[in-house]
């Protein structure tokens, strides 16, 4: 089997692991990690398309490569936002569990 075929099948497998983890993940971190695994797998399938499009002196078609670079950075933005939301949620949960200090502290 050629490298693109192996890596394409790997991309499919990683996407499947990501989907499964996204659905059955027992906590928010598991689902966030699964979402990123899924992204990695899909990008890899893209990379295989790029590799097969090699030509004109380039090892791989540059257009899908550029799209994947864009995608990786966008996936990071989404992950960072999700992590900030998770940390804020944890903070609020902790605050809700702690005994209320004084009624005038409330807005």
Using CB atoms within 10 Å of the CB of residue 3, give its burial: 0 to 12 exposed, 13 to 18 middle, 19+ buried.
exposed
What's the rounded Cα separation, in Å, for the pair 102 and 90? 22
Angle, helices 28-52/62-97, rounded to nearest 10 degrees: 180
Total number of residues binding another protein (CB under 8 A)? 82
Task: Establish if 105 lies at the interface with another protein (CB under 8 A).
Answer: no
Task: Establish if 106 lies at the interface with another protein (CB under 8 A).
Answer: no
70 to 99, contacts with another protein by CB under 8 A? 70, 72-81, 83-90, 93-94
26 to 65, contacts with another protein by CB under 8 A? 26-30, 32-34, 36-37, 40-41, 43-45, 47-63, 65
The smaller minimum CB distance to another protein, of residues 51 and 103, is found at: 51
Task: Establish if 9 lies at the interface with another protein (CB under 8 A).
Answer: yes
Using CB atoms within 10 Å of the CB of residue 70, give its burial: 0 to 12 exposed, 13 to 18 middle, 19+ buried.
exposed
Task: Establish if 103 lies at the interface with another protein (CB under 8 A).
Answer: no
């Amino acid at each position: 089997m050629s490298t693109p075929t192996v890596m394409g099948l790997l991309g499919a497998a990683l996407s499947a692991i990501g989907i499964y983890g996204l659905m059955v993940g027992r906590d928010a971190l598991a689902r966030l990690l699964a979402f990123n695994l899924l992204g990695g797998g899909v990008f890899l399938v893209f990379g295989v398309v790029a590799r097969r499009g090699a030509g004109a002196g380039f090892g791989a078609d540059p257009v899908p490569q550029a799209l994947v670079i864009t995608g990786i950075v966008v996936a990071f933005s989404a992950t960072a936002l999700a992590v900030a939301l998770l940390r804020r949620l944890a903070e609020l949960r902790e605050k809700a569990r702690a005994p209320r200090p004084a009624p005038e502290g409330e807005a």
